[in-house]
């Protein structure tokens, strides 16, 4: 009888150990699977980060090259000087070029033809009438009209022309003087060229 009880107890203990072992094995397998999933996620993120770092390095190198090119092109511009100036005038709230303006632009183009390294600065101006924001746009339209003429009629490359609009910020005649508004509605042209032709 005692032997039977001991045998039964041992059987139960062995079954319990087997169950515990299976439970432990299942837990370990689950943990390993979770760990593998996490490692795969980390590896995926690492690959993405590596690709992004490579892309950014490539972009940085490209920008550096472009900066160097721009600096090389800009080198020597400190030796440029104004070799010709002209002024175009406009009607109230107008950006159209009249015959006189076109003649002045022809003269500017002739001057630029003398030196292939020359540049032209085209600045649009307005009178004091109207809001500042509108006058900036109007000044830009006037400057662009001059730029378009030089490009279309005289084939001046766009990279040799620079425009800016000052709106009503830089009057040449004060508002209380006679004809001031007409004088201030203008585009000023400055042709720049190297002091010594390169």
Q: Which residues contact 59 (CB under 8 A, 6 or more apart)?
A: none
pLDDT value of position 154: 97
User: For the chain, how many helices (H) and strands (E)?
Assistant: 4, 4
Residues 103 and 190 occupy one common structural domain:
yes
pLDDT value of position 162: 96
- What value does the mean pLDDT take over residues 70-84? 73
- Token pair 């370990």 is at which residue? 28
Angle at 101 between CA 98 and CA 107, to 5 degrees: 145
Q: How confident is the model at residue 74 (pLDDT cuts 50, 70, 90)?
A: low
For the chain, the domain total comes to 2
Q: How confident is the model at residue 61 (pLDDT cuts 50, 70, 90)?
A: confident
- What value does the mean pLDDT take over residues 64-89? 74
Closest by alpha carbon to 108, among 188, 189, 181? 189
What is the rounded CA–CA span in Å between residue 190 and residue 87? Answer: 9
- What value does the mean pLDDT take over residues 174-190? 87
Q: DSSP letter at 160?
A: G
Q: DSSP letter at 127?
A: -
Residues 51 and 110 occupy one common structural domain:
no
Q: How confident is the model at residue 180 (pLDDT cuts 50, 70, 90)?
A: confident
Residues 144 and 190 occupy one common structural domain:
yes
Residues 91 and 60 occupy one common structural domain:
no
What is the rounded CA–CA span in Å between residue 108 and residue 50? Answer: 54
Identify the CATH number of the domain in which residue 174 sits: 3.30.1330.60
- Of the residues 30, 47, 75, the one at which a domain ends: 75
pLDDT value of position 45: 77
Closest by alpha carbon to 83, among 106, 114, 123? 114
The range of the structural domain enclosing residue 49 comes to 1-75
Q: Which residue has the higher pLDDT, 37 or 137?
A: 137
Backbone angles phi, psi at 33, to 5 degrees: -65, -45
Going by their DSSP bridges, the two strands 161-167 and 186-194 should be labelled as unpaired
Backbone angles phi, psi at 83, to 5 degrees: -110, -10
The string of pLDDT tens digits covering residues 92-117 is 999 999 999 999 999 999 999 999 99
Q: Would you state the structure tokens that stand for residue 116, as one six-digit string?
A: 């292939």
How high is the mean pLDDT of the chain? 83
Report helix, strand or coil for 166.
strand
Burial class (CB in 10 A: 0-12, 13-18, 19+), 140: middle
Residues 81 and 178 occupy one common structural domain:
yes
């Amino acid at each position: 009888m005692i032997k039977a009880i001991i045998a039964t107890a041992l059987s139960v203990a062995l079954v319990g150990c087997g169950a515990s072992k299976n439970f432990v094995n299942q837990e370990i397998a689950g943990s390993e699977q979770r760990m593998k999933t996490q490692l795969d996620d980390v590896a995926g993120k690492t690959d993405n980060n590596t690709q992004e770092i490579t892309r950014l390095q490539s972009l940085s190198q490209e920008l550096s090259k472009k900066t160097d090119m721009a600096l090389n092109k800009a080198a020597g511009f400190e030796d440029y000087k104004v070799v010709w100036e002209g002024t175009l005038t406009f009607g109230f709230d107008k950006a159209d070029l009249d015959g006189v303006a076109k003649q002045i632009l022809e003269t500017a183009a002739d001057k630029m033809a003398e030196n292939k390294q020359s540049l032209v600065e085209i600045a649009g101006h307005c009178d004091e009438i109207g809001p500042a924001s509108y006058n900036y746009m109007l000044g830009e339209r006037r400057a662009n009209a001059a730029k378009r003429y030089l490009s279309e009629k005289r084939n001046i490359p766009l990279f040799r022309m620079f425009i800016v609009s000052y709106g009503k910020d830089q009057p040449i005649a004060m508002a209380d003087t006679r004809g001031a508004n007409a004088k201030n509605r203008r585009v000023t042209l400055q042709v720049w060229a190297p002091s010594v032709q390169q």
